[in-house]
Amino acid sequence: MSKPRIGLKASFVVGFDGRQHVLWRHGEVVFEGGEILFVGRGFPGNVSQWIDYGHALIGPGFIDLDALGDLDSTVLTLDNGAEWNMGRVWSEDYLRAGPGECYSPDEELFKYRYAFTQLIRNGITTAMPITSMYYRRWAEHYDEIAGVAELSGELGLRTYLGPCYMSGMTYARADGSAAQHWDEAAGLAGLTQAERFFRDFDGTQGGLVHGALLPDRIETCTPALLERTAAVQRELNAPLRLHCCQSRYEVELVRRLHDTSSLQWLDRYGLLNPRSVLPHGILHSGEHELQRLADTGTSLVHCPVVFAREGDALDSFGGYRARGINLAMGTDTFPADMLDNLRQGLNIARVKEGDAEHTRMLDLYNAATLGGAQALGRDDLGRLAIGARADITVFRLGDFHQGPFFDPLKNLFTAGRGDDCIASFIDGRSVMQDGQVIGVDYADLQRRADALFQKQMQHHAERAFGNPPWRTLFRSAIPFADSYSAGAPLLDARTPKAP
């Protein structure tokens, strides 16, 4: 049976002319099944259904290559002291006693459901998820990511998945210094599960789910794990994501253990290549390394918000781009608001570069669309063009908070937010209309997430030195008037409950 031909209309459509994004006034997009048939104005054929979104911007879905698949623990560190002192990083005592799981298997899957709903709600149509390993006994495993693949099909999100694996974990000594715990066998066993997942699930869920190799981060890898990962990547032609060049601890540890820089170490194993994506690329050893990224076709995933919160940033988005490095985008933290990342990324780049000429709005928008598609080796994503997949978002225009209207993209960049996305189609399937992700009860999802997040906070006490009462590990931004004293907890028994 033939699939219905759907036509979308809006006051503006972001099309693609084969070289760049172009803007159509009073534009139309027509798709059948999961494939785009027409972008422009005045479609001459028959359409089963027209949907007119009025004053809105129809554009390609955002591609998020460091997409939060978690209940974000990084927000707990905001103005809360050192991570090792508030129980986010494992303490030596916790490691010695034997790490445990924070969540049950069902709860692990729920956190993905919550996070994936947030991604869709914010106009993200393709995601390569990331979760924290601090709350795990040791990394992820095949069965749970198999459940995530099924969830992707249920919600309709395009995903690049694989169990995260690692051979090491950073922990804190009693004096606050960082150290590494190594388990080579666990890392190699994790890679075996990742390879199995790729072979079993790549291309499943009607093509929505693709496999990927997702080792945790460079400082949790051993030479044997990297060498084997490189061999598997070559054999499977698999996309690989590896966090690197993101912390001074990481850079110094790699230098001390392997007598080289992080990027040079990856290059030694052939892991700088067009199938590799590297969040975050902030720290490097000079121009020669940046040129090597460009020459090898390796992509960097830019996540400006999560690093700005810690006072750090890419030294020059425009400079990286000018060297020919492909830049993609990631949200990494909560909220999963790509528009906020684009806006902050633009402002931060201009502050770092000292002018408004090296980085433009379109550069960031391209990174979230065309750059992400290039990183994945997909010329059918990140654009609205004939033959591309029908991954389409609709952002409303003209709302009061956006200010007087003057340009669709500039209004969204200056004052838009993720929940201005009112509709989303992924592979031609309507996954959100009127701001409502299909089949999701937001209130119920939020209630369950609140309960799980409290469980996560309580788990901090197990990882912190001395296992202090968990409430003492978190402070409010403003002290409570009725209970404040030095060391007073954020969550107090006397805090009134919401009605």
Are 375 and 65 in contact by the 8 Å Cβ rule? The answer is yes
Which residue's structure tokens are 């993200």?
Answer: 124
Are 338 and 296 in contact by the 8 Å Cβ rule? The answer is no
- Give the pairing of strands 21-32 and 5-16: antiparallel
Lowest mean pLDDT among 6-10, 86-90, 138-142, 378-382: 86-90
pLDDT, one tens digit per residue, over 216-264 is 999 999 999 999 999 999 999 999 999 999 999 999 999 999 999 999 9
- Mean residue pLDDT of the chain comes to 94
Q: What is the pTM of this model?
A: 0.95
Structure token digits, residue 316: 């020059």
Res 204 pLDDT > 60: yes
Q: Distance between CA atoms of 306 and 312, rounded to whole angstroms? A: 9
Taking phi over 0 as left and psi of -120 to 50 as alpha, with beta for the rest, 123 belongs to left
pLDDT grade, residue 497 (50/70/90)? Answer: very low
Nearest Cα to Cα of residue 330 among 316, 344, 319: 344
| Domains of the chain, start order | 1-60+382-436 (2.30.40.10), 62-380 (3.20.20.140)
- The whole-number average pLDDT for the span 435-464 is 96
pLDDT, one tens digit per residue, over 123-182 is 999 999 999 999 999 999 999 999 999 999 999 999 999 999 999 999 999 998 999 999
Are 294 and 324 in contact by the 8 Å Cβ rule? The answer is yes
pLDDT grade, residue 490 (50/70/90)? Answer: low
Report the pLDDT value the prediction gives residue 257, as an integer from 0 to 100: 95
Task: Give me the half-sphere count of Cα atoms (radius 13 Å) on the Cβ side of residue 389.
Answer: 23
pLDDT, one tens digit per residue, over 63-81 is 999 999 999 999 999 998 8
Q: Distance between CA atoms of 339 and 62, rounded to whole angstroms? A: 9
Report the pLDDT value the prediction gives residue 485, as an integer from 0 to 100: 47
* Positive or negative torsion for Cα 363, 289, 274, 19: positive
Res 209 pLDDT > 90: yes
pLDDT, one tens digit per residue, over 413-442 is 999 999 999 999 999 999 999 999 999 999
Q: Which residues of 4-40 are buried (b: 16+ CB within 10 A; e: fewer)?
A: ebbbbbbbbbbbbeeeebeebeebbbbbbebebbbbe
